[in-house]
Structure 1
Amino acid sequence: MSTGSKKSYLQYCGVARTLDLVGERWTLLLVRDLLLGPQRYSDLLDGLPGLTTNLLARRLKCLEEDGLVEKVKLPPPNPAKVYQLTELGRELEPLVLEACEWGNRFMAQPAPEEQQNLGWSLLRLKRRYKGNQNFVVELRAPERIFHIALRLNGIQVHQGGNPTAELIITGSTMALHQLFFGPTRASELIGQGEIVAQGEFGRWPRLMAAFGLA
């Protein structure tokens, strides 16, 4: 475990040790965002308003020292330096998904001052996927683009587009959230022009079935 100014509960307990590693403010949110794929320092900073650059640097340093995050250089043509979860860091995914589902019961409509990110909602789909599909869907919100790779035994949710996407769905962040989590039905969202679908429309019923949607 990293040293320095990082606090410890000093308890011989798995829960306490987990909190020693990822329990400080912003740390688990950084893990959540990195579950959506590698990100540049500036992307992480922009995606978490209220997090200062000095604090972000400290949190990333601790995560690197603890073996949960690593900094790598992407291959050409965009050789940027990005942060990504290590294999050990990716093992935190069930914890993040469980926290997301547990906390969701206390959420109503977003307050005006609350930030929204479609990717945070899309991570929940990993628990709802029924399997047995094999195609890619791209979701285009005004602020960000994401894609979901549906595979036989699971899905991958990543920030950014995907040129192999067979179905592209465009809409506001809230409309795309409602597409998967309600309460507005998909047919109503399409009829009202809240979302627009392009591509292989034969994939649409398979997308709905993959997540138990009407």
Structure 2
Amino acid sequence: MAEAKSAVAATNGTKRLADAVRAAKIAAAQRTDIVVDIREADRARLEMFADELQPIMDAVPLDDDLFDFTLSNGTHPRFWIDATAHVVMGRDRRTYRFVRETRLGRVTLVESPELRFVVDRVTDYIAERIVERDKALAVFDGLGSRLSAPERPVQTLTAPITPAHDAPLRLPQRPRSTDFVIALSWMMIGIVVGIGVLLAIIAARGTHLF
């Protein structure tokens, strides 16, 4: 009897575990359905936003690589404006959030449940980005510096210019007085040396001059 009761208890326990597993699977499926429903709802609202922004997107040239108008999939769908800015739905699933990724983190530029208001702010952002790019290109094209630089007068050459290295090197001529002073100096040096030699000879012979 004891073994039969334990077997029944084990069977009842197995059934309870199976019921719990089945209930967990049902709950997980329901949560998945909720997530899918939320994602689809966010995507539908972002598609409405894209429809409102379509005239602005059509005005941007197709070969313009500054903007990337794309609706991305995932757990949180996003409508990308460029590489750093996008529109995403808020937690209440009714508020549009226009955010931008920066070095300091994510910055919310606009947040409003009014679709038209967010579209206008995104349009202003697109215009500002275009102006910033045009200014950056103007800095590097050099046109402004060329226009502001004064014109140099054109000089007409009437005679050929001889390069400096072709002219012979000539030393300046010394005046005649300088030559006379040099000759007189050498003569005085010769006299002094002669007297010195003569005195040395006399001293060697032991004879006095006077």
The TM-score normalised by the length of structure 1 is 0.20
Determine which structure has the larger strand proportion and give its number: 1
Determine which structure has the larger helix proportion and give its number: 2
The TM-score normalised by the length of structure 2 is 0.21
Q: Which has the larger radius of gyration?
A: 2
